[in-house]
Structure 1
Amino acid sequence: MDVCNETTTEAVESFPAPPSVRLSEVWRRRLANDRAELVRFWPVVQNMVVTELRVRYQRSFMGFLWTLINPLLMMLVLSVVFSSLMRIEGGGGSYTLYLLAGMVPWTFMAGAVTESSVCIIMNESLIRKIYVPKLIFPLVRVLINLITGMLSLAALFLLLVPLGARPSAAMLFLPVAVGLIFAFTLGLGLLVATANTFFRDCGHLVGVFIQAWYFATPIIYPVTQFEESQRWRFWLNPAFYFIEIFHDILCKGAWPPLSLVLTAAALATASLGIGYVTFKSNEDKMVFRL
């Protein structure tokens, strides 16, 4: 009897433990799979972006030029109202240039986040019919707004000289600035796309939040309008760092401070990481909420 028990105990103790899978390895595998799927479905992404841009302007006389005219007209109206009627100055330079330099990145970010909030719901029929990685839907919305934002930035370059600005070496930093705000916006897009799929009220709240965020960000007014003791409040606004980078490059013709760039990079990394983890953790449940 004792021999049997000893043999059983030895067998249990010698039985190998199940292999443990580290959480980091799971997410590394998911990243690799998503990278491979994005490469595989990249023609689908391109087709969706091109089709959306064509449909948006196909019956318009001006066509694709409206992607340039719309933001310019809005910027012109705001510039006249705030510089002439309300006597707001541009912090030592042209107020119109200050306004345009902030409106271009903000319009991209606000449009991408707003459209991303409904991207999963709007593509319900496609998701139910065929397999398409759900990750591409917020990515498509961000890419569409990025293209229109780049066209608006190109239009702004045409106005730099008439507005009193001069080309500078700091403009070489613009691709980095665009990459930072792209990563930050994509992370926010993944977050709101996930939240609105499970809680439809979030789609309505996103518009209200974006409007309030707009007025809390120094776009239509410069930071210099406030006293030094009050400017710390802007540091709590994540969008402040990205907008200020564009202001430094386009308005001042100066390289943005390293602290500003590092903070923006940290915010972009955190936003993209949190958005990706949130989206992928709930991706398989989304179809049951549509």
Structure 2
Amino acid sequence: MLKAHWQEAAALWRSFRDCYAGHPAPWLQGAETHMALGDKGTAGDLLREARSLFPNHLRTWLASIEWAMKAGSPEQVDAFVQELMDREVDRSNALVAIAEVAERAGDVQRACACWQDLHQMSPDAPMALERLAKLHRRLGNASEARRYRLLAEYGALPSTPLRTAEKQPLLHFMQLVLVRALLNLKSESSRTRLNLAWVVVEPLLHLLVYYFLFGNLLHAGREGYGTFLLTGLLPWMWFAKAITASSNSILAGQTLLLNTGISPAFFPLVGILQASLKQLPAFALLLLLLLSTGHIPSGSGLLMLPLLLALQLLFTCAVGLLVAAIIPFARDLANLVGTGLTLLMFLSGVVYDPRSLSGRFADIVTCNPLLHLIALYRQALLENDRLDLPGVLYLLITATLLLCASWFIFTRYRDRFARRGME
């Protein structure tokens, strides 16, 4: 507004004070008008009168705080803030109002302190986290801005102190991946009536479909075909779900990637870990089914199961990270992930015994690492046999090579992932 307009407004508020002396607006708005005119003395007199007439009015103290900030008197600011907090007001609303006044007055430090107090009162309040991220960015505290941005986007971080996290960035990163995966599971289960029961119901439904199709219609069954099929189906579902979840994860996480310095590998690892956690109850179901049908694994077979789970997690991470790293640069491949997984399932011996194959096709299928992984599960759980060490070594070498390729892409082209997502 022009100065003449502010002067006209001041005259109007003076008239309103004569007619409506018992209403706070003419006093407070009049004070703000004089502050806009640079007349801090008159504004201070009006606010002093307002504090005596309307001591329980929130806006009285907020206007006084703003006046003290513009007058450059931090002692008076502290006194007015303390006076406001001592009164029976909603503390959270008061903190928000003081923070906004401080931001308007350019007192970023005080605004940060208010938002920090609000964050301590309500740790999950997204508004406080977003404003803290914004203010720390203005102050040049990039690490703090990134931390609050992550909190706003992904919920509570692990309780690792900041210094410890800086000394152990990999541990802090993996804790963040775990927390996000758990939050995703909680969110996913809350949207369905059966909640986490789907992790058991879904493989049973797949078992019924495949057992009916291959065991009865196509006569591909064998003795104990149900447990044979489930032993191959569970590792395959784990792998397929993890690859599907990780394939487009970097593109889906563009907002966070653009606003923070988090590694692009964070997004596929969250999807892989989420799929992995969902499969653990299904493997417990498999052991109960083997026990109920008389296929009791030997002690050595049960001891080998954790090793096989760790081996599959390593291999799944290797494939998922590589697929997720390539897709931002070749998006057409995202449309082939589903088809590729279907083909891979039939080359992995999920629904048939690969030992029944012969000839050149058997030699080609043998190159598939998943075939060896599923065979290892069946050796440990159904045949109570010693594990095929060459198969284990082949899986380890393949996973190591794929992880090296993924590491190269993520480190060499890290800065390009965010730009590729915007194209």
Q: TM-score, normalised by structure 1?
A: 0.82
Tell me, yes or no, if structure 1 residue 50 matches structure 2 residue 215.
Answer: no
8 Å Cα contact 1:174/1:249 also seen in 2: yes
Q: Which letter does structure 1 place at the counterpart of 2:290? A: L
Structure 1 range deviating more: 41-50 or 205-214: 41-50
* Residues 217, 240 of structure 1: 8 Å contact kept: yes
Could you tell me which of 58, 64, 69 is aligned with 2:196?
64
* Rounded Cα–Cα distance in structure 1 between residues aligned with 2:250 and 2:202: 27
Rounded Cα–Cα distance in structure 1 between residues aligned with 2:377 and 2:398: 16
Q: Tell me which moved more, 228-237 or 213-222.
A: 228-237
Deviation at 1:198, TM superposition (A): 1.4
Cα separation, 2, equivalents of 1:34 and 1:69: 42
Question: Residue 25 of structure 1 corresponds to which residue in structure 2?
Answer: none
Q: How big is each residue's C-alpha offset from its partner over 1:92-151, in whole Å with a ceiling of 9 and x where there is no partner?
A: x41111111111111111111121111111111111122322222111111111111222
Q: 1:52 to 1:35 in 2, by over 3 A?
A: farther
Q: Post-superposition shift, 1:44? A: 2.4
Q: 2: distance between equivalents of 1:76 and 1:217? A: 19
Match of 2:47 in 1: none
Q: Is residue 263 of structure 1 aligned with residue 394 of structure 2?
A: yes
Q: 1:34, CA displacement in angstroms?
A: 11
Q: Aligned to 1:166, which of 296, 299, 305?
A: 296
The match for 2:103 is none
Question: What residue number does 1:197 align with?
Answer: 328
Query: How far apart are the structure 2 equivalents of 1:218 and 1:39?
Result: 37
Partner of 2:229: 99
Query: Mapping of 1:140-289 within 5 angstroms?
Result: 140-168=270-298, 169-227=300-358, 231-289=362-420
With 275-284 and 100-109 compared, the bigger mean Cα shift is at: 275-284
Partner of 1:130: 260
Shift in Å at residue 190 of structure 1? 1.4
Q: Is the 8 A contact 1:96 1:163 kept in 2?
A: no
Residue deviations 1:63-120 (CA, integer Å, cap 9, x gap): 1111111111111221122112222234xx4111111111111111111112111111
Distance 1:216 1:202 in 2: 20
Structure whose alpha-carbon radius of gyration is higher: 2
Of residues 224-233 and 174-183 in structure 1, the stretch that sits farther from structure 2 once superposed is: 224-233
Aligned partners of 1:120 and 1:133: how far apart in 2? Answer: 10
For residues 244 and 282 of structure 1, the distance between their equivalents in structure 2, rounded to whole angstroms, comes to 37
Higher RCO structure, 1 or 2 (CA under 8 Å, sep 6+): 1
Residue identity in the other structure for 1:232: D
| Structure 1 CA distance for aligned equivalents of residues 195 and 255 of structure 2 | 29
Identity across aligned pairs (percent)? 28
CA-based RMSD of the aligned residues comes to 2.0
Amino acid at match of 2:410: F
Question: Once the 2 structures are TM-superposed, how far is the Cα of residue 179 of structure 1 from its aligned partner?
Answer: 1.4
CA contact (8 A) 1:101 1:246 kept: yes
**Equivalent of residue 250 in structure 2, options 117, 120, 126:** 120
Moved more, 76-85 or 192-201: 76-85
Name the aligned partner's letter for residue 349 of structure 2: P
Deviations 1:159-195 (A, max 9, x none): 1123331121222111111111211111111111111
Runs of 5+ consecutive residues of structure 1 not aligned to the other structure: 1-32
Displaced runs of 4 or more, over 4 A: none
CA contact (8 A) 2:264 2:417 kept: no
How many residues align structurally?
256
Rounded to whole Å, the distance in 1 between the matches of 2:387 and 2:352 is 19
Partner of residue 132, structure 2: none
Letter in structure 2 aligned against 1:99? L
Contact 1:173 1:255 in 2 (8 A): no
User: What CA distance in whole angstroms lies between the structure 2 residues aligned with 1:270 and 1:257?
Assistant: 20
Q: Residues 379 and 385 of structure 2 are in contact (CA less than 8 Å); yes or no, is this contact kept in structure 1?
A: yes
What amino acid is the match of 1:159? L
> Residues of 2 paired with 1:59 and 1:258: CA distance?
43
- The one-letter code matched in structure 2 to 1:45 is V
Q: Using a 3 Å threshold, how does the CA distance of structure 1 residues 139 and 34 change in structure 2: closer, same or farther?
A: farther
SS of 2:366's partner is helix
Q: Is the 8 A contact 1:180 1:265 kept in 2?
A: yes
CA distance in 1, matches of 2:412, 2:237: 29
> How much has 1:229 moved relative to structure 2?
6.7
Distance 1:167 1:74 in 2: 23
Q: Secondary structure at the match of 2:414?
A: helix
Q: Following the alignment from structure 1 to structure 2, what is the Cα–Cα distance between the partners of residues 193 and 206? A: 11
